[in-house]
Structure 1
Amino acid sequence: MTRRPVTKAAVIGTALEFYDHALFGLGAAIVFDRQFFPADQPLAGTLGSFAAFAVGFLARPIGGVVFGHFGDRVGRKPMLVMTLLLMGLSTVGIGLLPTYDQVGQAAPVLLTLLRLAQGFGAGAEYAGALVMVAETSDPRRRGLWASLPGAGVQIGILTATLAFTAVTALPSFETWGWRLPFLLSLVGVGVGLFLRFRVPESELFERERARGLSRFPALEVLRRQPRILLIAFAANAPFGAIAYILNVFMLSYVTRTLGLPATVGLVAKLLSAAVAIAVTPLFGLLADRVGRRPVFLSTALLLGVFAFPMFWLVDTGHPGLVILAITVGYGVCVAGMFAVLASLLTELFATRHRYSGVAIAREWTAALTSGPAPLVAATLVAAAGGASWPIAVLLMVCAAITFTAVLFAPETRHRNLTEVVSEPAIRTGAVI
């Protein structure tokens, strides 16, 4: 199997997933409150939009278990095709939904159902992309290659933000202009499917198939690597909350709480995503040189230290300082942790249940922390009378937890993917 076609298919598919995902976040922060909820109840509309955003994460663990199971039983490739198709069509459906003024209470119900379908498909999309790339990459450069789907995440966020920013300039944005980026997802689905159908199955998976596959890979990872799974949980849960506070809630905070034009938050998202695209492979390369743990721990520590200064800059209301703060927080700190988690997660689990292990570690934590994070942050700010200090404290706590989790993780930089990280390795830091 050649590395480049697999990586290209994984990056483009992941970009489409997070294009869809970012669109919903942008819509929830800027327009869904007026389109799908009563216009005369702005706070209820904002909370309802973020609640719909969070609901999608409830379906992700189920999708992760289902697609992860068949990814370890049937193959990586078929699941990547199915998840891409389900996510893309759900996003197009959101662009076709009637509004609250047209169908009343049915509008938020339909929005929530499509968000659930979107979340179900997303439950194993990124995990599958990571597994495919990691299993085909040069072990000496696995940190770099595994980080590239993370760059695809930022490409999707950047593209979604560009598309959404463009349509906000339309006079018809509030009526039908906002729908255009959602409908454009259909083009991405076509391109992604074309590439993924041309990619062969993972050779590591085929070797495992010849030896005999696990009947219930999700149960096997729970039974054979419970402590490893716990570390992956503890590392990913607070990281996911951090990412979605900075990527979704911050846009609402800048526009709704500080009263700045939506373009300020959108430009901040654009610049932070562009910076993240550039630095993600650099962090991957650094993880190949010095190890997964040192790079991740350094970026987590930087974010914890920067939490309060970031909000001090944002609260000035100066557009340039707002953009700088969000770019450093998300484009450097979050991107750095995300890049390293890619190789770390895939190297922690055995081939026979790697897809399930990564999907479970990512998606169950996403349901618990990532999805609710913007809603929790909005509630905390409202309870504090618009003050930002509770969110800075929350970011510091999340950074401390994920730092501690990876502190107890084994270093996996030189690991052979055909071997298994043993449970005692957590205590010794060795890879067996």
Structure 2
Amino acid sequence: MVRAFIASLTGTSLEWYDFAVYSAASALVFGKLFFPSEDPLTGTLLAFSTYAVGYLSRPLGGFLFGRLGDVIGRKKVLVATLVLIGTATLLIGLLPTQAVIGPAAPILLVVLRFAQGVGVGGEWGGAVLLTSEYGDTRRRGFWASAAQIGPPAGNLMANGVLAALGALLTEPQFLAWGWRIAFLLSGVLVAFGLWIRVRLEETPVFKAMEASGDRPQAPIREVFTTQPRALAAAVLCRVAPDVLYAMFTVFVLTYATEQLGMARGKALTAVLIGSALQIVLIPLAGALSDRWNRRRMYLWGAVAAAAWPFVFFPLAAGGSWPLLAVGVLVALVIHSFLYGPQAAFVAEQFSPRLRYTGSSLAYTLAGVIGGAVAPLLFTALLGAFGTWLPLALYLAAAAVVTIVGVLLGREADHDEDEEYTRNAAVRAAADQAPAGGRT
């Protein structure tokens, strides 16, 4: 279980490490090196467009690897996704610039970013199942939370690396070669993750599927035709946590600097303190959801997510850093109590034989309508109305969507996996028995 927990945590941490490093590189480096233009803003916008490609390609990964996870196994797919993400990230760190190979440089950057997104799209669902299908189903909230620790852990690692590079290198050095170090260091995480994952056995649920011949032939079609309510519940329940996280880890940096006149470093410090706290709070929230009713806990978290922006923006309006920090910390505490139980809640919506496909589809589809567009919508709303109220209403609407999803979802069935593996063993034994010995 410990190896499975670490294997799950490693993959999602790599994903979010890449997320943060790529975001910084898009803003600081890629526009100059891969999209040089007379207008610096144009180059930066083109660089950010490659960042968006990583989100848009995730559903493809969810469809591809989610299906394979229910057909060939959780472990094999998780090794493949980690290799794909890691290889693409390392190649970005080695990629020649436009000054060296011309137009091929930005094209290759887009291709590698696309490959990263495909790998990420298949990573989360398997990372969740790796722990949740190994352990006691009555502690699924805690074990499945391993995949959820990735965002704060990845953000902390990325910002730590970028801060160290900023302190050790001059700006010309960072622009010339220093940024590559941040990408190449991901190889350490990939190597460690592979070492853990290749040593793991398949989960008991997939072993039972394989032994009984119950692997689905068309899992994507089966999810859409036989479990549409489960898919809707799993997609909708993810929207508010994604939008809340986008507001209080990404957009809050823009709001604090441009609207409150605060130094970016101060705003970033508040986010990093909250991220460090989440590393403890997310597994704690997952464990608490095992003791309390998971759906009820999720509902109260969604209500708190809807209400908090109406407190935060007036609280931070004076430009006080301590009040801003308190506001961000409370928001990330609320997010922890949504995000910690989320992995278990999503996995529990689907039957064991379709769980990888269903979880992956839910993760990638929700990411497109939730976290991917949230920073852009926040920026557009603030630019159009010039006040915080539309931002708070947007998050409240996202919370309502999540409440609907939780109400559509089903309660945890702690005996489902045991019953499935037991019945699968009976079917497998019957299939292997001599024809004359059957009754």
The TM tier, using the shorter chain, reads: 0.7 to 0.9
**Map of 2:228 onto structure 1:** 226
Q: Within 5 A, what are the aligned runs for 1:16-415?
A: 16-28=14-26, 32-33=30-31, 36-37=34-35, 41=39, 44=42, 47-98=45-96, 108-169=106-167, 170-172=169-171, 173-212=174-213, 213-255=215-257, 258=260, 260-329=262-331, 331-385=332-386, 387-412=387-412, 414-415=414-415
How many angstroms apart in 1 are the aligned matches of 2:328 and 2:43? 25
CA contact (8 A) 1:15 1:155 kept: yes
Q: Distance in 1 between matches of 2:316 and 2:27?
A: 17
Using the TM superposition, give the Cα deviation of residue 277 of structure 1 relative to its aligned residue in structure 2, in angstroms. Answer: 0.7
Larger radius of gyration: 2
Looking at structure 2, the residues matched to 177 and 317 of structure 1 have their Cα atoms a distance apart, in angstroms, of: 34
Cα deviation digits, residues 239-291 of structure 1 (max 9, x gap)? 32332333333334444555543322332232111111111111112111111
Alpha-carbon distance change, 51 to 398 in structure 1, aligned in 2, over 3 angstroms: farther
Alpha-carbon shift at residue 340 of structure 1 (Å)? 1.1
Distance 1:320 1:122, change over 3 A: same
Within 2, Cα distance between the matches of 1:108 and 1:320? 42
Q: CA 1:250 to 1:46, structure 2 compared with 1: closer, same or farther past 3 Å?
A: farther
Question: Cα RMSD between the aligned structures?
Answer: 2.5
Q: 1:306 to 1:199 in 2, by over 3 A?
A: same
| Contact map agreement 1:26 1:248 (CA 8 A) in 2 | no
AA at the equivalent of 2:170? P
How far apart are residue 81 of structure 1 and its match? 0.8
Structure-2 change in CA distance of 1:255 and 1:112 (3 Å): farther
Structure 1 residues 253 and 88, CA gap change in structure 2 (3 angstroms): farther
Deviation at 1:231, TM superposition (A): 1.3
Quick check: 1:30–1:252 contact (8 Å CA) kept in 2? no
Post-superposition offset of 1:342 = 0.8
Aligned pairs, number: 416
- Report Cα offsets for 1:272-322 as digits up to 9, x if no partner: 111111111111121111111121111111121111322334444333333
For 2:376, the aligned partner's letter is L
Q: Secondary structure at the match of 1:194?
A: helix
CA deviation after TM superposition for structure 1 residue 234, in Å: 1.5
Equivalents in 1 of 2:92, 2:315: separation in Å?
A: 35
Cα deviation code 1:377-418 (max 9, x no counterpart): 223333335x44332221121112112221232221645235
The two structures have a TM-score, normalised by structure 1, of 0.88
Aligned-partner Cα distance in 1 for 2:369–2:73: 28
Tell me the distance in 1 between the aligned counterparts of 2:311 and 2:46: 30
5+ unaligned residues in a row in structure 2: which ranges? 421-439
How far apart in 1 are the matches of 2:377 and 2:27?
A: 14
Alpha-carbon displacement from aligned partner over 1:102-123 (angstroms, at most 9, x marks no partner): 7776655443322211101000
Secondary structure of the residue that 1:123 maps to in structure 2?
Answer: helix
Kept after mapping to 2: 8 A contact 1:288/1:413: no
Task: Report Cα offsets for 1:211-237 as digits up to 9, x if no partner.
Answer: 221111111111211111111122123
Distance, in Å, in 2 between the alignment partners of 1:312 and 1:34 is 38
Q: In structure 2, what is the Cα distance between the partners aligned to 1:61 and 1:104?
A: 31
1-structure distance, mates of 2:257, 2:25: 13
Unaligned runs of 5+ in 1: 421-432
Aligned residue in 2 for 1:426: none
For 2:36 and 2:308, the matched residues in 1 are separated by 38
What is the distance in 1 between the residues matched to 2:24 and 2:394?
A: 22
Instruction: String of CA shifts for 1:354-390, please: whole Å, max 9, x gaps.
Output: 00000001112212332222222223333335x4433
Kindly tell me: are residues 103 and 403 of structure 1, through their superposed partners in 2, closer, same or farther at Cα, counting changes over 3 Å?
Answer: farther
Instruction: Quote the Cα distance in structure 1 between the aligned partners of 2:27 and 2:389.
Output: 21
Aligned partner of residue 137 in structure 1, secondary structure: coil
TM-score by length of 2: 0.86
CA distance in structure 2 between the partners assigned to 1:393 and 1:30 by the alignment: 32
| Residue pair 2:7, 2:196 contacting (<8 A) in 1 also | yes
